[in-house]
Amino acid sequence: MTRDAINRRVQVQGLHHVTIVGSTRQSALDFWEGVLGMPFVFEQPNLGNPAENHLYFDPGDGRLLTVFTDEGRADAGRDAPREPGTVEHLAFTVSRATFQLAPARLRARGIEVLERDRGFMDSLYFRDPNGMKVELACYKFQTPEGLRDADVLRRAYELRVARGDDYLSPEHLADAIEELLRR
């Protein structure tokens, strides 16, 4: 293999889907569709493991969240492991209105919620029936037409570093948006 071939990248174009290991079909439907409102799209056998079923949900952007289920498994009912090679959490975008209502709605279902201000976004953390951490996230900015969230965040980060600040703040975001719109 040539040196040039070794240095070439495989360029990704976006997240296609995420697949998680769940317990039963009903548990997955109750949580992903019932609690988080993700429409159930379809199901089929897991073609890589016929003992499992494969459920497909729409997390809101037309991509897919899929769940492997097995009627012989029970909900784990414990925190998922947090070690190298595991997923720390899944984060989903919600509107500001949904973000404000979510803590009470989740707590009404007996789900514990942790709220965090991340400077550039607000976050709610809770666990699915198998202990996987789930985040609902809401940016503190509206991305202008023709830009991507990553464009705003990258420029805000550059401003933060140049100013010697510790974390992204609403001021960095506002200044980044203003600069990007001037270009």
Contact (Cβ atoms closer than 8 angstroms) between residue 108 and residue 114 = no
Residue 8 clears pLDDT 90, i.e. is over it:
no
* Cα distance between residue 29 and residue 62, in whole Å: 18
In the predicted model, is pLDDT for residue 4 greater than 90? Answer: no
Calculate mean pLDDT across residues 96-106.
97
Give the bridge partners for 133, in sequence order: 127
The reported pLDDT for the residue numbered 115 is 97
* pLDDT for residue 1 is more than 80: no
In this predicted model, what pLDDT tens digit does every residue of 104-161 receive, in sequence order?
999 999 999 999 999 999 999 999 999 999 999 999 999 999 999 999 999 999 999 9
pLDDT per position as a tens digit, 16-65? 999 999 999 999 999 999 999 999 999 999 999 999 999 999 999 999 99
Radius of gyration (C-alpha) of the chain in whole angstroms: 20
pLDDT on residue 176: 98
**What pTM did the predictor assign?**
0.91
For residue 3, pLDDT over 80 is answered with no
